[in-house]
Amino acid sequence: MLAELREDNSLDRWIDQVRSLRGCTAPIHLAGERCRVDASTGEILSTYSTEENEPRGALLVRCKNRRVSVCASCSEEYRADAYQLIKAGITGGSKGVPSSVGVHPRVFVTLTAPSFGPVHRGPGKDGTTQPCHPRRSGLSCTKYHRSDDPLIGQPLDPESYDYVQHVLWQAHSGELWRRFIIHLRHHLASAAGLTRTEFAQRVRVSYAKVAEFQARGVVHFHAVIRLDGARGPSSWPLPPVWASLDMLIAAVHSAVRATSLEVTVGDECHRLAWGEQYDVRPIGEFGPEHGALSDTAVAGYIAKYATKAAEEAGGLDRRLTDITHLDPEQVRPHVARLIETCWRLGNRHVYPELEYLNLRKWAHMLGFRGHFLTKSRSYSTTLGALRQARADYSAGYPWDPETWTPTRQDDQDDESTLVLSDWRYLGQGFTPGELALVCVITGRSPTTKEAHDKEAHDEVFP
């Protein structure tokens, strides 16, 4: 590759591209053209094409991947953005959210999945070791699992574990959340003695939530829920005095219990609901005796969860196109069973009633179909706005790695200049040889995996 770049004098430009990636190790390769035109006269002001201007006809842009297993640099940027987004909605005073939201009732809620069968348990939340002993089961495991024990989260008895219910729950978890929020609004309205319409005219419920994969391969949701006045987070009007923190906490409890959903598969009806283990805590300075959490602690938790993905629970980091491609060496047996269950239920000829879930498409996510970070419209700023604000794409374009589409549609410099552009996806990432060179250019040391890949590569292509 080096020889090729040297030959056409494009090595310098390639090095520039690598520098502009700011540490991204899985860049997207784009081909395309961009043309700036004077809108009034039609005169072409400048043209740019990767074919003419870039080494090997490709522009490299940051991958923007949320997953730390794909790209540490972009994942860190995503985490920082998620932190800003959540923090702005809790404390205000930035990103267009007034600091008055600091006095709105706010809670940190964790909603979990029910049990689908006993699984091996690791140390407690505070890190103390505990015997595995799952409650309420005839099966038992008396081991003390260390936090890195791969057994944690795996079923004690895979044969009796309810894989179908697990996958159905996961695939509907977004719908359960939607129903939970509807119940929450209704319960708040009735606690206030108002009709739903009257309530909506006075109080708005805003939230931001993240999904976190647990070791057993199912998501939990962590959310900030905030009560605003009728116009959202704006400083006027404030939420009415009767819309109190206590009222919010009580309504979360009753809404969690009220939420459920029924799915019929064949002649079997599956009832899906939240797990009994859930948590509601006030956010703010009430002191630890109230179980309150500080705003920075909450923003930190959520940002940390936002970059975890299915592969941390043993899932795959890319879509599966065929179940026969599933390498049993690559995943743990529990994860393989979950993926196979998705594949089986995703057969639209056998289960036409589940076609809307598109389970084969989401098999690598163990059936989870939602976004990892979502928020109601008025919670705070958006990730897109944060990215745009950073405006670090001198030549490249914001690129949505989930959908492979440019995120900015209105490519306009200013009123008088029209920008026409057309981009195509060519590929992604560096070869092991290129990565070694990237490390030299950026002064970054290769990760163990990269060093290993390079060695394997050099053996094949000395």
Residue 71 lies near Zn ion (rule: CB under 5 A) = yes
Residue 120 lies near Zn ion (rule: CB under 5 A) = yes
**Nearest approach, Cβ of 28 to Zn ion (angstroms)?**
8
Nearest to Zn ion of 132, 331 (CB atom): 132
**Nearest approach, Cβ of 196 to Zn ion (angstroms)?**
44
d(CA 357, CA 1): 44
**Nearest approach, Cβ of 224 to Zn ion (angstroms)?**
27
What residues contact residue 88 under an 8 Å CB cut-off, 6+ apart? 94, 95, 96, 97, 380, 381
**Nearest approach, Cβ of 76 to Zn ion (angstroms)?**
9
- At 228 the three-state DSSP class reads strand
**Nearest approach, Cβ of 123 to Zn ion (angstroms)?**
12
Nearest to Zn ion of 28, 97 (CB atom): 28
- What b/e sequence results for 364-373 when a residue is b if at least 16 CB atoms lie within 10 Å of its CB, and e otherwise? bbbbbbbebb
Query: Among 14, 17, 24, 219, which residue interacts with Zn ion (rule: CB under 5 A)?
Result: 24
| Closest listed residue to residue 179, CA positions, set 112, 257, 250, 243 | 257
d(CA 130, CA 141): 11
Copy the structure tokens of residue 183: 């119940």
**Nearest approach, Cβ of 20 to Zn ion (angstroms)?**
12
Site for Zn ion in 26-45 (CB under 5 A): 26
Site for Zn ion in 424-453 (CB under 5 A): none
**Nearest approach, Cβ of 434 to Zn ion (angstroms)?**
14
Query: Among 61, 132, 167, 218, which residue interacts with Zn ion (rule: CB under 5 A)?
Result: 132
Cβ-count burial of 429 within 10 angstroms (0-12 exposed, 13-18 middle, 19+ buried)?
middle
Residue 215 lies near Zn ion (rule: CB under 5 A) = no
Query: Among 1, 39, 141, 247, which residue interacts with Zn ion (rule: CB under 5 A)?
Result: 141
Nearest to Zn ion of 207, 430 (CB atom): 430
d(CA 137, CA 118): 7
Nearest to Zn ion of 4, 157 (CB atom): 157
Q: Which stretch binds Zn ion (CB under 5 A): 116-124, 198-206, 240-248, 315-323?
A: 116-124
Q: Which stretch binds Zn ion (CB under 5 A): 80-88, 127-135, 336-344, 362-370?
A: 127-135
DSSP tag of 155:
B
Nearest to Zn ion of 68, 219 (CB atom): 68
**Nearest approach, Cβ of 260 to Zn ion (angstroms)?**
30
**Nearest approach, Cβ of 25 to Zn ion (angstroms)?**
6
Nearest to Zn ion of 146, 319 (CB atom): 146
Site for Zn ion in 333-392 (CB under 5 A): none
d(CA 301, CA 204): 24
d(CA 460, CA 25): 22
Nearest to Zn ion of 63, 302 (CB atom): 63
Residue 208 lies near Zn ion (rule: CB under 5 A) = no
Q: Which stretch binds Zn ion (CB under 5 A): 25-33, 226-234, 236-244, 373-381?
A: 25-33
Sheet holding 373-375, edge to edge: 279-282, 106-111, 219-229, 203-213, 373-375
d(CA 144, CA 136): 18
d(CA 91, CA 104): 10
Half-sphere exposure of 71 (CA within 13 A, CB side): 25
Query: Among 18, 63, 109, 248, which residue interacts with Zn ion (rule: CB under 5 A)?
Result: 63
Check if the beta carbon of residue 419 is closer than 8 Å to that of residue 412.
yes
**Nearest approach, Cβ of 442 to Zn ion (angstroms)?**
13
**Nearest approach, Cβ of 330 to Zn ion (angstroms)?**
23
CA distances from 251 to 175, 188, 225, 292 (A): 19, 6, 11, 17
Nearest to Zn ion of 63, 205 (CB atom): 63
Check if the beta carbon of residue 343 is closer than 8 Å to that of residue 359.
yes
Residue 74 lies near Zn ion (rule: CB under 5 A) = yes
Nearest to Zn ion of 71, 263 (CB atom): 71
What residues contact residue 334 under an 8 Å CB cut-off, 6+ apart? 153, 154, 155, 158, 161, 216, 217, 314
Residue 119 lies near Zn ion (rule: CB under 5 A) = no
| Closest listed residue to residue 317, CA positions, set 262, 265, 364 | 364
Binding site for Zn ion (CB under 5 A): 24, 26, 62-63, 71, 74, 120, 132, 141, 143
